[in-house]
Structure 1
């Protein structure tokens, strides 16, 4: 993306710095989604987040979109799938889940991404997995179940689960699928790819937003609503998705998913600091198992990838 030297070019070549910023921005997204749950309904937050992000992006992306249009059109099925997964479905599910569960639970459930990326990579792309990696995945998933069940096995057995936890679990599974399929994206400029994905995502979100409006759920017209929409439009949208996609280009989807485990740790700290949420023993036990599973699995072999 960056053709000239300087700080911007140096930043663009440093995968782990880009991914650290991505993790911080996305952690903030869950915090804002939880804090603004009574002000901005889920579909409204998703719709305006991406509509504003697209308006900010288009002046930068337009020259690249014109050049890359033949490649985007030729690869429209994968563009549709990726945009529907990452921009459309994931965001509505995340904000909907945050209506009824805590940001802390959301962050810790999302820490299962590395394990789920291994599973989805094996099932969808035929990636090889070792017994050590399978054991690590099972340990991590046990940690997720402890968090979802709030440390009470009877809740899992009786299926007395918080619906918000289940919804966010589904969102994380879709994100794992996106991360694996991202290696199939066409070799176009990152801004072209992001703009096309957002267009698809908005098309997915729009009918859900229309149903939300029809049901009478409206944005509360206060300053907090505007601030929430402004934050999610810039940081976890335009910047974070661009940085995440670049990270996959540089180090691959599996390694990117592994590193994103820092996001729940950041988010847990932010949730306790800004929302006053409490860290319970079952959170610690679950997170310990998740991290242990990642360490047991180790860093998987990098799949062959072609950088855009």
Structure 2
């Protein structure tokens, strides 16, 4: 088992693929329980639960890393605000106010935002070949989201939920670009510190939401959703994503986000019994071609 874990830890594309699987499930769960758990409360439950799960494993490394955490609190705060607190809160708010098609299409803007912000903050330039790879992946996203019907794009309408998702996508791009700047810490120390930032920011917002009439309906689905969002898209996915970025860089890791609409559609096929259509297969091939093209070029 240890040998298998060590092998997986050295495979960035496997780690990033699992990350996208868990995050795609997060979007489906967030949309499914929007009437049972208010969005700010779901965000708070996610990070309180994730911190509770991670804390026992992070106490030892955190004690050893405390001087580094204290000296680099600014970057920890920025990463915690952008990639934990604000991103997920805005995503849940958006999922309650927009269609799945709009949300998936807008999240496809994240890889180009990563390239743009990396250029603005780090002076990183990208090649024409990599731009072609990005364009191919986004074209595959368009095929999946529009179900292969170009005229669907003409009927998309933006609303406040779309704006929330767009801002969340920009913030995730910022988080991805800044992630390599994190101090030299044990991964669990780093993630626990950023999760604590998320808890500190989101919990008062959830308390405000509940004090203004929002209520949780504790159905079995809601309980399962709270457990899922705390463990899989939070603790496990953030560990995997951080490791993936450290191995292949933020630009390559960001390309995998374009697979989320496809993975979400396939999860809907498996979990909800929705049919698998030809456009799914065409979109899958185009997205994968774009990701492979991007990762194989400089």
TM-score (norm 1): 0.82
Of residues 23, 26, 31, the one that matches 1:29 is 26
Q: Is the CA contact 1:254–1:300 (under 8 Å) kept in the aligned structure 2? A: no
Q: 1:208 to 1:285 in 2, by over 3 A?
A: farther
CA deviation digits over 1:28-86, x for unaligned, max 9? 00010010000001111110111111111111111000001111111111000000111
DSSP-derived class of the 1:260 partner: helix
Spell out the pairing of 1:88-237 with structure 2 (5 A cutoff): 88-131=85-128, 133=130, 151=151, 160-237=157-234
CA deviation digits over 1:62-120, x for unaligned, max 9? 10000011111111110000001111011111111111223344334323322221111
Q: 1:174 to 1:289 in 2, by over 3 A?
A: farther
Q: Is the CA contact 1:115–1:294 (under 8 Å) kept in the aligned structure 2? A: no
CA deviation digits over 1:105-137, x for unaligned, max 9? 433432332222111111121111345555766
Whole-Å separation in 1 of the counterparts to 2:119 and 2:34: 36
Of residues 68, 82, 97, the one that matches 1:85 is 82
Q: 1:141 to 1:10 in 2, by over 3 A?
A: closer
Worse-superposed segment, 268-277 or 26-35 = 268-277
**Which ranges in structure 2 are unaligned for 5 or more consecutive residues?**
none
Shift of 1:295: 7.6
Spell out the pairing of 1:272-291 with structure 2 (5 A cutoff): 272-274=269-271
In the alignment, which residue of structure 1 is the partner of 2:257? 260
Q: 1:23 to 1:297 in 2, by over 3 A?
A: closer
In the alignment, which residue of structure 2 is the partner of 1:306? none
Whole-Å separation in 2 of the counterparts to 1:86 and 1:228: 20
Whole-Å separation in 2 of the counterparts to 1:134 and 1:217: 44
Whole-Å separation in 2 of the counterparts to 1:96 and 1:199: 21
Whole-Å separation in 1 of the counterparts to 2:130 and 2:118: 12
Whole-Å separation in 2 of the counterparts to 1:164 and 1:142: 23
CA deviation digits over 1:194-238, x for unaligned, max 9? 000000111121232122112211211222211110111111111
1:64 aligns with 2:61: yes
In the alignment, which residue of structure 2 is the partner of 1:304? none
* Count of equivalent residues: 295
Whole-Å separation in 2 of the counterparts to 1:279 and 1:96: 29
In the alignment, which residue of structure 2 is the partner of 1:271? 268
Q: Is the CA contact 2:49–2:230 (under 8 Å) kept in the aligned structure 1? A: yes
Whole-Å separation in 1 of the counterparts to 2:292 and 2:9: 28
Shift of 1:262: 2.4
Q: CA RMSD in A?
A: 3.2
Whole-Å separation in 2 of the counterparts to 1:167 and 1:284: 30
**Which ranges in structure 1 are unaligned for 5 or more consecutive residues?**
302-308
Q: Is the CA contact 2:94–2:160 (under 8 Å) kept in the aligned structure 1? A: yes
TM-score (norm 2): 0.85
Q: 1:139 to 1:239 in 2, by over 3 A?
A: closer
Q: 1:120 to 1:145 in 2, by over 3 A?
A: farther
Shift of 1:261: 2.7
Q: 1:31 to 1:153 in 2, by over 3 A?
A: closer
Q: Which has the higher helix share?
A: 2
